[in-house]
Structure 1
Amino acid sequence: MADPARSPWPVRLAFQARAKNLRASFDDGAVFDIPYALLRRESPSAEVQGHGPGQKRAVPHADRVTITAAEPVGRYAVRLVFDDGHDSGIYSWTLLRTLGEAAQSAPQS
C-alpha cells in the first residue's frame, strides 16, 4: 500500500508510438495514457512556459509530434525528446501524474 504522505511513484513508462501516448503506471495502481501532444503543449521548459506569468507560448504543431527518446533525470523526472527538436522539458513524476489526470478527465474527441 502506498504511503499517503508521499506522492505516487511511477513504476513504468511505456511509449505507445502508434497511439502517440505515454502510458504512465504508478505504484498506487493508477494508469494514465498521456497524449504526446499534451506533453508537448505543457512542456515545463522556459521555451514553452516562458519566464513568468502570462508568457506561455502556443505549440501549433503539437498534434503532429512524436517522442524519439526519454532520459532519466535523477530519481525525480524524465526528459523527453520530441521529433520537432524540443528536448529541454524536464517532466517530474508529479507533473506526469497531473497531466495524466488531466488527460483522463478531458472529453474525448
Structure 2
Amino acid sequence: MSDIPSHIKFHKQSQMLELCWQADCYQMSAEFLRVHSPSAEVRGHGVGNEVLQTGKKDVRILKLEPVGNYALKISFDDSHDSGLFNWSYLKQLAAEQAKFWQAYLDKLQAAGASREAKTIQFKSVD
C-alpha cells in the first residue's frame, strides 16, 4: 500500500482531517496533529529533547498546503506552522492513533500538565 493517501478531506466544523489509503480511512483531530507535529519545536533536536505540548485541546487548523508529492504543511491557530507531515508519518499516526494518543495522555499526567489552555482571569477594580 502506497504512503500517498487516496483521499484527503478536512472537516472544518469538527476540525478533523480525514485521510484514506484505499479502503482504510482515518480521522485525526487538530489537537492530535498539533501535539504530534514533526517540527523541531515539538520533537526537539534529538532523542530526549522532545517538548511536551500542553493546552492544545482547542487548537484549530487554519490552512492545509500540499508540499510537492510527499507532505502536508498544516498551519494551526496558535501560530504553529513548522514541520512537514510527510505521507509516511501521517499514515503511521493514523494507523497507530490510539497508541500515540494514550502515550501523550500518560506524559501529560506524569508532568501534571493539562490539555486545557491556560486562561487569564481578569477582575474589574472599582
TM-score (structure 2 length as normaliser):
0.73
Once residues 79 and 29 of structure 1 are traced to their aligned partners in structure 2, the CA distance between those partners, rounded to angstroms, is 24
Report the equivalent of 1:9. 4
- CA change 1:72–1:97 in 2 (3 A) is same
Q: Is the 8 A contact 2:4 2:70 kept in 1?
A: no
Report the equivalent of 2:82. 88
Report the equivalent of 1:21. 16
Q: Which has the higher strand share?
A: 1
Report the equivalent of 2:55. 61
TM-score (structure 1 length as normaliser):
0.83
Q: Is the 8 A contact 1:70 1:81 kept in 2?
A: yes
Structure 1 unaligned blocks of 5 or more:
none
Once residues 15 and 39 of structure 2 are traced to their aligned partners in structure 1, the CA distance between those partners, rounded to angstroms, is 21
Identity %: 34
Structure 1 segments, 4+ long, off by >4 Å, are 104-107
Report the equivalent of 2:29. 35
Q: When the two structures are aligned, how many residues end up with a matched partner?
A: 101
Alignment pair present for 1:48 and 2:9: no
What's the C-alpha RMSD, in Å, of the aligned pairs?
A: 1.7
Structure 2 unaligned blocks of 5 or more:
103-126
- CA change 1:57–1:104 in 2 (3 A) is closer
Larger radius of gyration: 2
Once residues 30 and 46 of structure 2 are traced to their aligned partners in structure 1, the CA distance between those partners, rounded to angstroms, is 24
Q: Is the 8 A contact 2:11 2:18 kept in 1?
A: yes
